[in-house]
Amino acid sequence: MKSGTFGFNKEYLEQPDIPNTWRAMEALYDSDKARAIGVSNFSSKKLQDLLDIARVVPAVNQVELHPGWQQPKLRAFCESKEIHLSV
């Protein structure tokens, strides 16, 4: 949310800066302050966009996954990139 805003309105939302956030997480990984880094609720497209700029591949993607929502495309993508899916 943008600073100084109240209530929920789409105009109040800020877009996350994923590349800079990931670089900061890689710095923590490089300094041994984190043994692994990962993401949560990333789609195949978001993961590919991240992989295009990342030095360190995410160790895990935490997502909703159950018999009613099996996400076969995401599962196959993560398996091909050796990214663990945590549910």
User: pLDDT digit string (tens) for 17-71?
Assistant: 999 999 999 999 999 999 999 999 999 999 999 999 999 999 999 999 999 999 9
33 secondary structure, DSSP code = S
7: left (phi over 0), alpha (psi -120 to 50) or beta: left
Q: What is the reported pLDDT for 51? A: 98
Q: Are strands 60-62 and 39-40 parallel, antiparallel or unpaired?
A: parallel
Q: What is the reported pLDDT for 54? A: 98
Which residues contact residue 43 at a Cβ distance below 8 angstroms, ignoring those fewer than 6 apart?
74
Question: Model pTM?
Answer: 0.84
Distance CA 18, CA 54 (A): 10
